[in-house]
Amino acid sequence: MSAGQLPRWVDYGLIPVLNLVAAFLVSGLVVILIGESPIEAVQILLWGSLGFGEGIGFTLFYATNFIFTGLAVAVAFHAGLFNIGGEGQAYIGGLGVAWACLLLDHYVPWWVTMPLAVAGAALMGAAWAFIPAWLQATRGSHVVITTIMFNFIAASLMVYLLVNVMSEPGSMQPETRTFEDGGRLPFLNDMMPWVDFGTAPVNFSLILAILACIAVWLIIWRTRLGYEIRSFGANASAAVYAGIDPVRTIIITMLISGALAGMMAINEIMGSQHRLLIEFVTGYGFVGIAVALMGRAHPVGIVLAAILFGMLYQGGAELSFEIPAITRDMIVVIQGLVILFAGALEHMFRPFLIQAFAVGRGAAAQAG
Amino acid sequence: MFDTFILILDSTVRLSTPLLLACLAGLYSERAGVVDIGLEGKMLGAAFGAGAVGYLTGNAWAGLLAGIAVSIGLALIHGFASITNRGNQIVSGVAINFLAAGLTALLGQTWFRQGGRTPPLPEGGRFENIELPFAEAMRDVPLIGQIYSELLSGHNILVYIAFAAVPITWWVLFRTRFGLRLRAVGENPAAVDTAGISVIWLRYRAVIVCGMLCGVAGSYLSIAQSSGFITNMTAGKGFIALAALIFAKWQPLNAMLACLLFGFLDAVAIRLQGQELPGIGEVPVQFFQALPYILTVILLAGFIGKAIPPKAAGVPYTKERT
């Protein structure tokens, strides 16, 4: 350890907080720019997302989406891969959910449909990640570019399917029919009578998301596969020299990542909308990048970051209701700033901190 | 039949122009080793800046300058993150796309109160179409006259600028000292550094040129092609330009051909909407929308030649290890 290194708590605690503070300060400037009070905005945002049962319910509902897409990006990170195709994988994952629900909802209760819907979502999401993964592994074409392309191909494909193939006969809406009870996950509000989430659609998927976090933790840190993934991500050539098959590692990692992104559709489609419709992903896949970055690609961090973004989504909705001048686009701005400061400008404060700690250490050494 | 064909080609030129400008923008940046998936955001920001200033001043050139200024501003953020701070270039690009999407809609609503659009441009705020000399007189000459007066004449100045930028870019990249250094910094920055040339300043210049061209591309959308800014009016064009850049294998002339191809697909899709093709039936419009991306993926798979990016693209340059 040279004098340039920082203690772990600074790396994992202080730097993310500083980045976040910087992002929020700039967001505050934007609020001032449009002539509103940032203090008032923060109050409404906090109250709207955490101040009452329904608000908390919505926060947790959005957080569920972010946990899935955040985990998806994080798993790929561990192998040094950048999956920005979560958007498309989640969208296509919706197909798997919808097929399971449309097929079974008349005949069986939800807990029979659910495993199939989860499998469908994971399979379709993984399938959509497979071609980019295979191209990266065998042809060396960059996974970032191919996953972007696949996001757009997914968007076109889904519009085509929903308009021409899957829409209800006689309906002009680009969406499937509404699922019956057998294709609906129970709301947490109904499962736990002692809490009051009001009309918030937070549902059983939250539990699935927590299970996914545990599964990811086990896979990445407690299995041979996870060791291979992390070794490959840390130093690909050393990993290959140690006998790790790069093609296999890349493809399996991307399949897991795609499956996790696809499972986001469970929450939206089976948990809340109860039908497959166009554009239900709307940015959750991209925000997953920010969630994974802020959560330092660790499940615990991802849950915390997902809740933060859930608060932004719900608080922002409340904010645009209370102060119409601050439209929901403000949330997109804040997300952009968080991605910028917590992601791209991650190391901006590092040199200052390293200097500060070096000075501190020097003083301590002299005193000692 | 021939008339229809000329009309499709004419709209191909119009639809290709923003793609071409953005594609050349990306070319400068990526050739210098800075990957840019923020083309979309820069175009959108520029479209808003141009639409707003074009409306307020009634001067298209002022609008264009504003568009370029906004785009360069966003490009400098990208440069600061990815060159100075050696941050992840992909993440920075994503951030810029988010910022542009959010800020244009938010500020548009705050300033103009029309749901995020800018009001229609006044007289002079928009680049008008230019009739080339003798276009009217040539109109009746078969073939050549039609091509000249329909296809070549009657576009606005930005279209001509975009197509002129292709040979200029080629010349700059392959015949000037700046171009040689720019390409070198994208392939082997350490060698450029050893020669005593600043990697950082070179990359910043590349990023600024990228911002300028994206600025023209975005301004074209709001003050030339249409009259005013609409929320999210780029609608993925920045990503099609990115696809075209890969499809063109990072070569200026190929970039023009790729953008014309993608523009042509778009024009055909608009033309064929709701029409039956003999023997095939109705081709869904979504197929044409996805085709640029599908073609690019097929190219990347190595079925149509091989796309090799600049070697140092996406890798921040570290001068010394500490």
Q: Is B281 helix (H, G, I), strand (E, B) or coil?
A: strand
CA-CA distance, B172 to B254, in Å (whole number)? Answer: 16
CA-CA distance, B36 to A23, in Å (whole number)? Answer: 22
The residue ranking higher by pLDDT, A284 or A347, is A284
pLDDT at residue A2, rounded to an integer = 42
What's the length of chain A? Answer: 368
Work out the pLDDT band at B269, boundaries 50, 70, 90. Answer: confident
pLDDT at residue A14, rounded to an integer = 84
pLDDT at residue A102, rounded to an integer = 93
CA-CA distance, B211 to B208, in Å (whole number)? Answer: 5
Kindly state the average pLDDT of the residues A246-253: 95
Radius of gyration, CA atoms only, chain A: 22
The amino acid present at A144, given as its one-letter code, is V
CA-CA distance, B270 to B283, in Å (whole number)? Answer: 11
Q: Is B176 helix (H, G, I), strand (E, B) or coil?
A: coil
Residues 6+ positions from A348 with CB-CB distance below 8 Å? A19, A22, A341, B85
Residues 6+ positions from A213 with CB-CB distance below 8 Å? A67, A71, A299, A300, A302, A303
Tens-place pLDDT, residues B133-147: 777 777 777 777 777
Q: Return the residue matching tokens 């200097």.
A: A355
Kindly state the average pLDDT of the residues B187-203: 91
Predicted confidence (pLDDT) at residue A268 exceeds the cutoff of 90: yes
Measured CA distances, B297 to A155, B118, B262 (Å): 15, 36, 14
Measured CA distances, B212 to A75, A232, B15, B48, B65 (Å): 37, 39, 19, 15, 9
Residue environment code for A42-81, b if the CB has 16+ CB neighbours within 10 A, otherwise e: bebbeebbeeeebbbbbbbbbbbbbbbbbbbbbbbbbbbb
Q: Based on the number of CB atoms within 10 Å of its own CB, is A230 exposed (0-12), middle (13-18) or buried (19 or more)?
A: middle
Can you give the three-state secondary structure of chain A, one letter per residue? CCCCCCCHHHHHHHHHHHHHHHHHHHHHHHHHHCCCCHHHHHHHHHHHHHCCHHHHHHHHHHHHHHHHHHHHHHHHHHCCCCCCCHHHHHHHHHHHHHHHHHHHCCCCCHHHHHHHHHHHHHHHHHHHHHHHHHHHHHHCCCHHHHHHHHHHHHHHHHHHHHHHHCCCCCCCCCECCCCCHHHCCCEHHHHCCCCCCCCCCCECHHHHHHHHHHHHHHHHHHCHHHHHHHHHHHCHHHHHHCCCCHHHHHHHHHHHHHHHHHHHHHHHHHHHHCCCECCCCCCHHHHHHHHHHHCCCCHHHHHHHHHHHHHHHHHHHHHHHHCCCCCCHHHHHHHHHHHHHHHHCCCCCHHHHHHHHHHHHHHHHHHC
Predicted confidence (pLDDT) at residue A322 exceeds the cutoff of 60: yes
Answer whether A358's CB lies under 8 Å from A1's CB: no
Task: Label residue B196 left, alpha or beta by phi (over 0 means left) and psi (-120 to 50 means alpha).
Answer: left
Predicted confidence (pLDDT) at residue B35 exceeds the cutoff of 70: yes
pTM, whole model, 2 decimals? 0.90
**Token representation of residue A126:** 């993984």
Measured CA distances, A252 to A130, A362, B108 (Å): 9, 47, 45
Q: Chain B residues with CB inside 8 Å of A150's CB?
A: 293, 297
Tell whether A4 lies on the interface with B, counting CB pairs under 8 A: yes
Residues 6+ positions from B282 with CB-CB distance below 8 Å? B274, B275, B276
Cα of A287 to nearest chain B Cα, Å: 9
pLDDT at residue A218, rounded to an integer = 97
CA-CA distance, B8 to B65, in Å (whole number)? Answer: 31
Work out the pLDDT band at A3, boundaries 50, 70, 90. Answer: very low
Task: Label residue A216 left, alpha or beta by phi (over 0 means left) and psi (-120 to 50 means alpha).
Answer: alpha
Kindly state the average pLDDT of the residues A179-185: 90
Among residues B60, B63, B50, the alpha carbon closest in space to that of B123 is found at B60
Percentage above 90 pLDDT, chain A: 61
Tell whether A164 lies on the interface with B, counting CB pairs under 8 A: yes
**DSSP β-ladder status, B281-282 and B276-277:** antiparallel
* List of E strands, B123-258: 129-130, 155-156
Cα of A148 to nearest chain B Cα, Å: 8
Residue of A nearest to B74 (CA): A340
Q: Which of A33, A153, A348 sits opposite B293 (nearest CB)?
A: A153
Tell whether A6 lies on the interface with B, counting CB pairs under 8 A: no
Work out the pLDDT band at B304, boundaries 50, 70, 90. Answer: low
> CB–CB of A347 and B92 under 8 A?
no
Q: Chain B residues with CB inside 8 Å of A331's CB?
A: 102
Predicted confidence (pLDDT) at residue A212 exceeds the cutoff of 80: yes
Task: State the average pLDDT for chain A.
Answer: 90
The amino acid present at A29, given as its one-letter code, is L
Kindly state the average pLDDT of the residues A3-7: 66
Work out the pLDDT band at B4, boundaries 50, 70, 90. Answer: confident
Tell whether A152 lies on the interface with B, counting CB pairs under 8 A: yes
**DSSP β-ladder status, B155-156 and B281-282:** unpaired
Percentage above 70 pLDDT, chain A: 98
Among residues A156, A259, A181, the alpha carbon closest in space to that of A215 is found at A259
Domain boundaries, chain B: 2-125+138-300
Tell whether A344 lies on the interface with B, counting CB pairs under 8 A: yes
- Spacing of C-alpha A130 from chain mean position: 19
Measured CA distances, A108 to A101, A105, A281 (Å): 10, 6, 27
Q: What class is the B2-125+138-300 domain?
A: mainly alpha
Predicted confidence (pLDDT) at residue A118 exceeds the cutoff of 50: yes
> CB–CB of A345 and B110 under 8 A?
no
Q: Which residue segments constitute the domains of chain A, with CATH numbers given? A: 64-314 (1.10.3470)
Predicted confidence (pLDDT) at residue B282 exceeds the cutoff of 80: no
Predicted confidence (pLDDT) at residue A221 exceeds the cutoff of 90: yes
CA-CA distance, A163 to A161, in Å (whole number)? Answer: 6
Predicted confidence (pLDDT) at residue A368 exceeds the cutoff of 60: no
Predicted confidence (pLDDT) at residue A121 exceeds the cutoff of 90: yes
Predicted confidence (pLDDT) at residue A9 exceeds the cutoff of 60: yes
Work out the pLDDT band at B103, boundaries 50, 70, 90. Answer: very high
**Sign of the CA dihedral running B283, B301, B39, B211:** negative
pLDDT at residue B76, rounded to an integer = 96
Predicted confidence (pLDDT) at residue B64 exceeds the cutoff of 90: yes
> Could you give phi then psi for residue B78, rounded to 5 degrees?
-60, -40
Work out the pLDDT band at B305, boundaries 50, 70, 90. Answer: low
Q: Chain B residues with CB inside 8 Å of A153's CB?
A: 290, 293-294, 297
User: What are the beta bridge partners of residue B276?
Assistant: B282
Range in A7-11, A88-92, B42-46 the model is least confident about? A7-11
Cα of A108 to nearest chain B Cα, Å: 35
